């Protein structure tokens, strides 16, 4: 599940990269920084990416996945920080019976 | 391309009127209510039995509309309930019920529909406010407060959704002869209409007229606004 989640996250981010205007998101790895710090993307771009991943996950796995819930928003280490942490979150939500 | 219009609370009153209104303009129309719609359904209309305050039901409905008809481009958050009572005599359950439908229902439909509008980079959302809020109508505390919340949601969502070319506005009707006000005494209704700049009962077409303005493709610079009818401000 984690490999599929990673592929979906990477594919979706790369698809959105052009629209968002972040050239560094055209080729990403697990360590690619998303949100936070000076080099991260803006909050609106994060909203777009999270919504696109939720949509893609629903199409791919046939069920609704909610990434941005209270639990995710209040974690000490933001799950939206890198491609890797976002994959962890998606994988957990897909495996954990949420949504 | 024809607009895909989703209207909540379509079984009767203004919602029912709006179904015919949008069908007559050639739109693809879906709607919902908690109970069965009249049979036979108007041609081209899809009905869902759903409570707008039920998150899973709203999610399923918006998803199903997208699959069957297409992504919603116009959302009319019409579903609403009212209850007249003095604040001292109002049960908590009544206020909770009003907020569930009017505030949480509006929020849920807005959130789910905005998700499908976002990839299209286009959307029109119209919420329902009421003149009971600016008039601070006695006996309407729960209802007026719930619609004040809708106005606030409208203004903030307008800003948050503007980057996706989704506009969010609200129409604030005066009394219109629907089930919501059938139990209000005539003397009270006359006094209320007397506070309007234009002293007559509202009609369905008055509301449809403001909605037409908000959902027009040309209204892409109009968002976060609440328009009250009858000259109330």
Contacts 24+ apart (CB under 8 A), B192-195: B192/B135, B192/B137, B193/B230, B195/B135, B195/B232
**Number of CB pairs, chain A paired with chain B, less than 8 A apart:** 11
- Confidence at residue B183, expressed as pLDDT on a 0 to 100 scale: 73
Instruction: Report whether pLDDT(B182) > 50.
Output: yes
Across the range B106-112, mean pLDDT stands at: 97
Q: Give me the DSSP letters along A66-92.
A: --SSHHHHT-SS-TTSBHHHHHHHHHH
Query: What is chain B's mean pLDDT, rounded?
Result: 95
Instruction: Report whether pLDDT(A98) > 60.
Output: no
Across the range B27-36, mean pLDDT stands at: 97
Nearest-angstrom CA–CA distance, B228 and B132: 10
Across the range B186-208, mean pLDDT stands at: 93
What are the domain boundaries of chain B? 4-228
Return the CATH architecture of domain A2-95. Answer: Orthogonal Bundle (1.10)
Instruction: Report whether pLDDT(B5) > 90.
Output: yes
Q: Would you call B163 an interface residue with chain A, using a CB distance cutoff of 8 Å?
A: yes
**What does the angle CA B114 – CA B118 – CA B122 come to, to the nearest 5 degrees?**
95
Q: Which CATH number fits domain B4-228: 3.40.50.300, 3.40.50.720, 3.40.190.10, 3.50.50.60?
A: 3.40.50.720
Residues of chain B found within 8 Å of residue A58, distances taken between Cβ atoms: 63
Other Cβ atoms within 10 Å of B169 Cβ, number = 24
The model's pTM = 0.90
Q: Would you call B67 an interface residue with chain A, using a CB distance cutoff of 8 Å?
A: no
Instruction: Report whether pLDDT(B107) > 90.
Output: yes
Across the range A22-48, mean pLDDT stands at: 90
Across the range A56-79, mean pLDDT stands at: 88
Chain A contact probe: residue of B163, B165, B166 with most A CBs at under 10 A: B163
CB A80 within 8 A of CB A13: no
Cβ B118–A48 below 8 Å, yes or no? Answer: yes
Question: For B41-89, how does the pLDDT look when each residue is reduced to its tens digit (9 = 90+)?
Answer: 999 999 999 999 999 999 999 999 999 999 999 999 999 999 888 999 9
Closest residue in A to B116 (Cα–Cα): A55
- Confidence at residue A97, expressed as pLDDT on a 0 to 100 scale: 44
- Confidence at residue B179, expressed as pLDDT on a 0 to 100 scale: 67
Q: What is the ipTM, given to two decimal places? A: 0.75
The whole-angstrom distance between B162's CA and the closest CA on chain A is: 11
């Amino acid at each position: 599940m984690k490999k599929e989640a990673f592929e979906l996250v990477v594919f979706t981010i790369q698809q959105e990269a052009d629209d968002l205007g972040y050239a560094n998101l055209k080729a990403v790895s697990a360590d690619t920084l998303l949100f936070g710090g000076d080099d991260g993307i803006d909050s609106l771009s994060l909203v777009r990416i999270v919504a696109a991943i939720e949509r893609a996950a629903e199409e791919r796995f046939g069920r609704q996945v909610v990434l941005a819930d209270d639990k995710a928003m209040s974690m000490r280490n933001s799950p939206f920080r890198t491609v890797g942490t976002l994959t962890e979150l998606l994988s957990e939500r897909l495996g954990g019976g949420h949504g | 391309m024809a607009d895909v219009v989703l209207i909540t609370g379509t079984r009767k009153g203004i919602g029912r009127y709006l179904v015919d209104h949008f069908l007559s303009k050639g739109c693809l129309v879906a709607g919902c209510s908690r109970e069965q719609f009249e049979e036979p359904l108007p041609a081209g209309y899809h009905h869902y039995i759903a409570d707008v305050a039920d998150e899973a039901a709203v999610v399923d409905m918006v998803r199903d509309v997208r699959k069957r008809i297409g992504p919603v481009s116009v959302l009319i958050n019409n579903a609403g309930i009212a209850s007249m009572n003095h604040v001292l005599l109002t049960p908590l359950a009544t206020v909770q019920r009003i907020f569930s439908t009017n505030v949480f229902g509006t929020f849920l439909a807005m959130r789910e529909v905005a998700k499908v509008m976002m990839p299209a980079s286009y959307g029109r959302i119209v919420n329902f406010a009421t003149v009971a809020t600016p008039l601070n109508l006695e006996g309407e505390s729960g209802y007026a407060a719930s619609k004040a919340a809708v106005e606030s949601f409208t203004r903030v969502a307008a800003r948050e959704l503007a980057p996706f070319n989704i506009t969010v506005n609200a129409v604030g009707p005066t009394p219109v002869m629907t089930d919501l006000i059938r139990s209000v005494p005539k003397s009270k209704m006359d006094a209320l209409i007397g506070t309007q700049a234009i002293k007559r009962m509202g009609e369905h077409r008055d509301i449809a007229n403001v909605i037409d303005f908000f959902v027009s493709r040309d209204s892409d610079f109009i968002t976060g606004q609440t328009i009250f009818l009858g000259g109330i401000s």
